[in-house]
Amino acid sequence: TVGAIGYGAYEIYGKRHPLEQKPFDPKKRTVVVLGSGWGAVSFLKSINTDDYNVMVVSPRNYFLFTPLLPSCTVGTIELRSIMEPIRFITQHKSRNVKFYESECTDIDPESKTISITDVSDIKGSVSNTTVHYDYLVMAVGADNQTFGMAGVREFACFLKEIWDAQKIRTRLMDCVESAGFAKQAPEEVDRLLHMVVVGGGPTGVEYAAELHDFLKDDLEVWYPELADKFRITLVEALPNVLPMFSSQLIQYTESTFKQNKIEVLTKTMVKEVADKEIKVMDANKNLVSIPYGLLVWATGNCPRPLTRKLMARIKEAQTSPRGILVDDYMRVAGAPDIYAIGDCTFSKYAPTAQVATQQGLYLASVFENLARIEEGQNKKITPFEYSHQGSLAYIGSDKAIADLPFLNGNVSVGGVATYVFWRSVYISNMFSFRNRFLVVGDWMKSKVFGRDVSR
Ligand code: FAD
Ligand code: NAD
């Protein structure tokens, strides 16, 4: 019976079994997609596989819904609820999409080949090979910006991938349990329970907000002897947090953080990172030490090694160190058969999921039109146009902020009602019914039982 129920659910959820999909057609052009994030998946969802063979290369065999990743660091949402296997996504295509869980290590635009390396710990007899493409879609995202500062990779936690959220969670609980260890020195308790977040962009702000909720709702209840010792500090080099939001929402966020006892140090730049303390240049240009237990580093993006390698190969056309330059049709300058979308590009838009998604959808329509033009139809390829749908961020205590375009103007709202809106937007933007179901279940679970405080 259980098997029948399972199969029934699969029948409803799965539209097409892989064996029922058309195989690769040697007469069709092959599009190789690098990545399985926002840009790649929105492209994959829309590309017409009747026209092309499609192959995906990514070290992650799943899509990650990054906007809810900060909620996973404290257990409001379970990690697997925001992951979607790439094969669940490609099952809907008419032609089988090949997926290789591997990292692309080099791109040769001359021979139109890429080098790929198996990323699994258990390797077969072949773990490095080359793959030919007719068109390449680069959607490899970006790396964490460290400014080459020693100690950041060694001692801080980033917040970009699943394993980052797991690491933050483990370190946080380690700090709490060590602070409660027998005969712990008072100054060591203070250090261990001081959580420092570097970077007042949306990642740093949302993480500080989630951490605050976890401390207030759960840790202070389960660890009453430590309750008055927890501290959160957010360090930001600029004069305020969230520079992309309206001044009204910046003020609202900073006052909400003040009420929530999150200390915000603006005009303060981290200069050195050691295992137990950071050194910052404060607003008065003094070098000050800040001891920490947990350090979360969220200072933005920089190009990945693969992106830099490709840019170096075509350096006459790639003149920006900040990412790949593309034209209005997402074609890589200096490499005509390569397209790039999302965070790996350098464009006039902020590196967001919203931009990557629209670029992925646009590129799929370009490929559709290219196929129709080849068949002799009269189709025109128009340039990419970004349509900004607004910015949202969670700021803690069931409050969110939203800057929304409205009748040629802008509406700035913040509060509990905005939080309900924030939740509904994210739920509706999830790529699958399965993810929506799991996330809503997690929200209910954490409301009813509280968050899990086990390591
Ligand atoms: P990604 O989604 O990062 O995907 C890159 C893919 O490339 C991954 O699958 C990766 O494994 C793969 N890859 C990496 N290296 C290689 C390689 N060498 N070969 C092959 N594949 C490779 N944006 C919003 O608009 N709204 C939000 O609320 C929001 N919240 C966020 C919260 C957090 C915590 C973070 C970190 C980001 C958030 N963003 C948000 C930004 C958003 O996640 C990014 O802009 C978006 O992921 C960019 O999409 P992408 O496809 O370019 O890259
Ligand atoms: P970011 O680039 O938006 O912000 C990084 C911040 O770190 C900047 O304000 C910068 O001044 C600060 N900083 C840099 N070096 C510093 C130093 N040494 N000391 C102190 N502060 C320093 O980065 P992010 O928050 O990781 O976001 C990356 C991208 O993802 C952005 O485009 C963002 O819009 C997007 N994102 C969006 C959301 C959302 O819409 N809710 C959430 C997360 C991320």
Same domain, 167 and 309: no
The whole-number pLDDT of residue 340 equals 98
The whole-number pLDDT of residue 10 equals 52
Task: Among 347, 374, 401, identify where a domain stops.
Answer: 374
Same domain, 204 and 264: yes
The whole-number pLDDT of residue 455 equals 85
ipTM above 0.90, yes or no: yes
Same domain, 213 and 97: no
- Ligand 2 centroid – CA 363 distance (Å): 27
Is any atom of ligand 2 closer than 6 Å to the C-beta of 396? no
Same domain, 296 and 310: no
Residue 358, phi then psi, degrees to nearest 5: -65, -35
Is any atom of ligand 2 closer than 6 Å to the C-beta of 200? yes
- Ligand 1 centroid – CA 141 distance (Å): 5
Whether residue 384 is contained in a domain is answered as no
Q: Exposed, middle or buried by CB within 10 Å (0-12, 13-18, 19+), for 308?
A: middle
Strands 62-64 and 83-85: antiparallel
Q: How many domains does one find in the chain?
A: 2
The whole-number pLDDT of residue 15 equals 62
Domain span holding position 198: 152-301+391-449
Whether residue 309 is contained in a domain is answered as yes
Same domain, 310 and 297: no
- Ligand 1 centroid – CA 345 distance (Å): 12
Task: Among 311, 339, 374, identify where a domain stops.
Answer: 374
Q: In the 3-class helix/strand/coil scheme, how is 190-247 assigned residue by residue?
A: HHHCEEEEECCCHHHHHHHHHHHHHHHHHHHHHCHHHHHHCEEEEECCCCCCCCCCCH
Which ranges of the chain have pLDDT less than 70? 1-16
Whether residue 246 is contained in a domain is answered as yes
Same domain, 366 and 312: yes
Q: Exposed, middle or buried by CB within 10 Å (0-12, 13-18, 19+), for 383?
A: exposed
Same domain, 157 and 233: yes
The closest residue, in CA terms, to atom 15 on ligand 2 is 299
Structure tokens at 299: 């200072």
The SS3 of residue 366 is: helix
Same domain, 58 and 112: yes
Same domain, 290 and 311: no
Same domain, 289 and 364: no
Whether residue 254 is contained in a domain is answered as yes
The whole-number pLDDT of residue 2 equals 44
The closest residue, in CA terms, to atom 26 on ligand 2 is 300
The whole-number pLDDT of residue 125 equals 86
Same domain, 96 and 204: no
Integer Cα distance of 108 and 113 in angstroms: 5
CATH of the domain at 108: 3.50.50.100
Residue 194: which of 155, 230, 225 has the closest Cα? 230
Residue with tokens 């999921």: 353
The closest residue, in CA terms, to atom 29 on ligand 1 is 67
Task: Among 374, 404, 419, identify where a domain stops.
Answer: 374
Whether residue 192 is contained in a domain is answered as yes
The whole-number pLDDT of residue 3 equals 45
